[in-house]
């Protein structure tokens, strides 16, 4: 029997569409499929999104997974992971930074230890920025749907998305794409209408508005006892795999 669970999103106050969201556990066959899916070298946004949308439902038909902010989507993935494998937490591998120790150890990621950041945590929050030639424009965080738009645009321009610099640059443009298309913004960047300083302003705004669960935890070396904050990054596949070592 498939059961759905309501959750509250960290960025819920930022959406213009009112909605509630529910998630469900991943079935055993879906776990097997996820393992093969996320092993693929070149995974298109449509491929992984069509799979992940199965575990989410909204009470408002106007709301779609593509309209979710990425930071909320990652929060959803962790909630799905926790519901599916409650007794098998994600295991993170670290090396102790104490030079006299340096031992590798495993830290289990506990949902209760996650730091959740919300828009109200940002002082003087604004959804507009002032650019040199384009004036005052709307700015937003990356949405799930931006991935497909960036992917298709990069294909049309033969832009290499294996380059982190290219990927970050197009994501920067997507942040101000509420009025202009990605193609228009790319042309503005080519001709200098969008300046190098504008890009820095966009990146500064994005760096300040990272919400959802903060990918940083306090860890303690079990050998020497040193405690310190550490950052970590989870791939999409990490949410569906279990380390039983």
The per-residue pLDDT for range 99-155, each reduced to its tens digit, is: 899 899 999 887 767 777 776 666 667 789 999 999 999 999 899 999 999 999 999
Q: What is the rounded average pLDDT for all residues in the chain?
A: 89
**pLDDT higher than threshold 90 for residue 1:** no
Q: What would the pLDDT profile of 101-115 be if each residue is shown by its tens digit? A: 989 999 988 776 777
Write down the residue that tokens 């990425």 correspond to: 70
Residues 171-191: what's their mean pLDDT? 94
CA–CA dist 221, 231 (Å, integer) = 15
Residues 191-203: what's their mean pLDDT? 96
Half-sphere exposure of 108 (CA within 13 A, CB side): 13
Please report the sign of the dihedral spanned by the C-alpha atoms of residue 24, residue 28, residue 29, residue 30.
Answer: positive
Give start and end residues of each alpha helix (H) in the chain: 28-37, 45-52, 70-84, 144-157, 164-174, 182-191, 196-208
**Taking a C-beta distance cutoff of 8 angstroms, is the pair 90, 27 a contact?**
no
CA–CA dist 52, 87 (Å, integer) = 22
Tell me which long-range contacts 221-227 makes (C-beta under 8 A, separation of at least 24): 221/96, 221/98, 221/101, 221/103, 221/105, 222/105, 223/96, 223/101, 223/103, 223/105, 224/96, 224/98, 224/100, 224/101, 224/103, 226/96, 226/97, 226/98, 226/101
CA dihedral 181, 168, 42, 244 (to 10 degrees): -130
Q: How is the chain split into domains, by residue range?
A: 4-102+234-240, 126-208
Write down the residue that tokens 């790319």 correspond to: 186
């Amino acid at each position: 029997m498939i059961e759905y669970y309501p959750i509250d999103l960290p960025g819920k106050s930022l959406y213009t569409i009112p909605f509630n969201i529910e998630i469900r556990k991943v079935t055993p066959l879906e776990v097997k499929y996820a393992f093969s899916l996320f092993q693929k070298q070149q995974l298109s946004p449509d491929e992984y999104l069509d799979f992940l949308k199965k575990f989410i439902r909204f009470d408002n038909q106007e709301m779609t997974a593509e309209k979710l902010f990425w930071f909320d989507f990652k929060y959803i993935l962790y909630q799905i992971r926790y519901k599916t494998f409650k007794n098998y937490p994600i295991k993170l591998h670290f090396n102790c930074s104490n030079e006299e120790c340096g031992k590798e150890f495993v830290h289990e990621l506990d949902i209760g230890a996650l730091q959740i950041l919300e828009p109200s945590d940002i002082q003087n929050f604004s959804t507009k920025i002032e650019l040199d030639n384009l004036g005052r424009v709307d700015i937003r965080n990356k949405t799930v749907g931006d991935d497909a738009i960036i992917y298709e645009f990069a294909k049309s321009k033969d832009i290499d998305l294996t380059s982190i610099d290219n990927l970050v640059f197009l994501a920067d443009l997507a942040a101000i794409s509420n009025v202009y298309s990605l193609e228009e913004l790319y042309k503005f960047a080519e001709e200098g209408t969008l300046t190098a300083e504008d890009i820095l302003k966009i990146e500064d705004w994005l760096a300040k508005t990272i919400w959802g669960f903060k990918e940083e935890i306090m860890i303690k070396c079990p050998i020497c006892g040193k405690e310190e904050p550490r950052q970590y990054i989870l791939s999409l596949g990490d949410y569906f795999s279990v380390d039983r070592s």
